[in-house]
Amino acid sequence: MIELTGINFVSALWAAPAPGALQTAHILGAVLSWLLPIGLVLVAASGLTDEEARESTTAFLLVAGIVSLLYFLYGFAVQFGGVGIKYRLEGLSGLVWLWTPLDVRWGTGWGMVGLRGFALLPPADTLPALSLFLAFLPRAVTAALIPFLLMHRRSPLWASVSGAVLAGGVLYPLVGCWTWGDGWLGNLGQNLGLGHGFVDFSGAGLFLLAGVLAFAGLETVVRSDVPARSPDEPPPVHLPLVAGLGAMMVLVGGAAWAVSNPLLGNRPLELALTNGVLGALAGAFAPALYLWFVRGRNHPLLAARGLIAGWVAVAGLQAFVQPWGALAVGFLSGLLLPFVTYLMDRSPWNDAIGAISTFAVPSLVGLLSLGILADGRFGQGWNGIGLGSFLGVKGEGVAGLLVKSGMKPDWPGQELAQLTGVAAIVLLSWLLGLLVFGLMPWVVSQAKSAAARERSRSVEEEVRASESNAN
């Protein structure tokens, strides 16, 4: 374990506005960020049976409480224990401890796990650190909700709770460190010359890891014989209202995710927010258009899921592509939604909340599209790359294949960075999910056997004691 020092590049990227106005925006954004997980619960409930919907919505507070406690105790430290190495912002200068498996001779950008800020103790007790905690806490809860909502009542209680803890309490802080906390994925540009490193603007990677983990649960512990509300049949009349309300909450909460992130400083958010809205609405329009042509009617649940899929797809690239690119990515993700839903409905797996079609596939599409559609206009100095110029072009930012006139394509460098990040997230989530869900039944059975043996021993002792007293 080594303590590293970094370079001050934040001041070169963003001209800070009035501190009070920026702080107010971050706090308001952090509060509104909770609309996104709440909206996901409402949309997911619209695809469940009535009993499952009642229990799942009430279980939201349980999951949020457990994951929030874990993120407070160690998740924040794992994710941002070394964030001060790269972001030399006032109040984060003490968070400069990362564990790396490689010696410093191989470079200082291979961080794996942050090691400072546990339980928000010093040096994580500053106002900027608390602002960072508030901004990213809803994201950890969101990551936990997806496998939990899918597995709840379709598997033993230990499985659904384990899925939530694994996604929000283990995988998300770890992947967040790799991406935002000066970890190795963000430093692929510095260490291997792969573009600006792995880029994920608003957290599409968390939906990928949650969706993959949920699929691991589907394959191992979820019962396929539990009925789910089929998208082929219209839901009860109140559910379209619930699904629509939940989808709009996701749209507002998704915008708040970008505003709440203090690491973005005063980076212009107008393009990011515009692209988020366009991608989400295109995602809702695509399945509605498809169903209108095929069946002559719309389906409110698929439209709501399409809006979420569109926003998830655009979340990773929304500040780096032109609006037409966001529209295309959102529309493609929404168009894929009914096809993936159809395949999952006719597979052995019962994906009742659309974890694969609504979260995993769109996040995959969006993250990989960045290496093609990023036009180079924005993202100067992202992950410490190209502070003054990039690829010989002054002021060029994150670039893919199709760049703006005057910019130079970064192909295939940025796409290779995105592929590396996606592969790392998928493999980690899949293998760890299979390991935990595969071992837990054995652990539970051993615990039950031990408890049964203990009860049997107690009964035998009581019988012997009774016989002894009788004699």
Give the angle 201-113-253 at the CA atoms, nearest 5°: 30
pLDDT score for 44? 86
> Which residue, among 373, 368, 371, 341, has the nearest Cα to 356 in the 3D structure?
341
Whether residue 218 lies inside any domain: the answer is yes
Which CA distances in Å does 119 have to 72, 97, 162, 310?
A: 5, 15, 22, 35
Whether residue 340 lies inside any domain: the answer is yes
Structure-token match 């007293």, residue found: 469
Give the angle 135-137-138 at the CA atoms, nearest 5°: 90
Indicate if the pLDDT at residue 151 is higher than 80.
yes
Alpha helices in 221-299 (DSSP H): 238-260, 270-295
Alpha helices in 201-269 (DSSP H): 204-220, 238-260
pLDDT score for 311? 97
pLDDT score for 237? 53
Structural domain containing residue 276: 2-462
For helices 204-220 and 300-315, give the axis angle rounded to 10 degrees: 120
d(Cα 381, Cα 397) in Å, to the nearest integer?
Answer: 7
Indicate if the pLDDT at residue 150 is higher than 90.
no
User: How far, rounded to the nearest angstrom, does the alpha carbon of residue 12 sit from its chain's CA centroid?
Assistant: 29
Q: For 220-245, write each residue's pLDDT tens digit.
A: 887 555 555 555 554 565 677 888 89
Alpha helices in 296-360 (DSSP H): 300-315, 323-345
pLDDT score for 224? 54
> Which residue, among 308, 252, 321, 322, has the nearest Cα to 280 in the 3D structure?
308
Residue 399, helix vs strand vs coil:
strand
Whether residue 468 lies inside any domain: the answer is no
Highest mean pLDDT among 378-392, 408-422, 428-442: 408-422
Percent of the chain with pLDDT over 90: 56
Residue 176 φ then ψ, to 5° = -60, -35
pLDDT score for 349? 79
Residue 329 φ then ψ, to 5° = -65, -45
Least confident of 28-42, 49-63, 185-199, 261-275: 49-63
> Which residue, among 58, 50, 57, has the nearest Cα to 239 in the 3D structure?
50
pLDDT score for 45? 83
User: Token pair of 288, please?
Assistant: 């509605």
d(Cα 57, Cα 52) in Å, to the nearest integer?
Answer: 8
Residue 169 — left, alpha, or beta (φ > 0 → left; ψ -120 to 50 → alpha)? Answer: alpha
Cis status, amide bond into 147, omega within 30 of 0: no
pLDDT bracket for residue 5 (50, 70, 90): very low
Helix, strand and coil content of the chain, in percent to the nearest 5, comes to 65, 5, 30
Question: What total number of domains does the chain contain?
Answer: 1
Indicate if the pLDDT at residue 337 is higher than 80.
yes
d(Cα 297, Cα 288) in Å, to the nearest integer?
Answer: 8
Whether residue 451 lies inside any domain: the answer is yes
d(Cα 219, Cα 431) in Å, to the nearest integer?
Answer: 12
CATH number of the domain encompassing residue 389: 1.10.3430.10
Rounded to 10 degrees, the C-alpha dihedral 382/383/385/389 comes to 20
Q: For 12-59, write each residue's pLDDT tens digit.
A: 333 344 456 667 888 899 999 999 999 999 898 887 777 777 777 777
Beta-sheet pairing, 2-3 with 97-99: antiparallel
Whether residue 83 lies inside any domain: the answer is yes
Cis status, amide bond into 17, omega within 30 of 0: no
pTM beyond 0.95: the answer is no
Indicate if the pLDDT at residue 3 is higher than 50.
no
Structure-token match 């797996």, residue found: 349
Indicate if the pLDDT at residue 281 is higher than 90.
yes
Whether residue 80 lies inside any domain: the answer is yes
- Residue 105: Cβ within 10 Å count: 6
Whether residue 470 lies inside any domain: the answer is no
Q: Give the residue-averaged pLDDT of 202-223.
A: 89
* Dihedral sign, Cα of residue 156, residue 158, residue 161, residue 164: negative
* Mean pLDDT score of the chain: 85
Residue 399 φ then ψ, to 5° = -130, 145
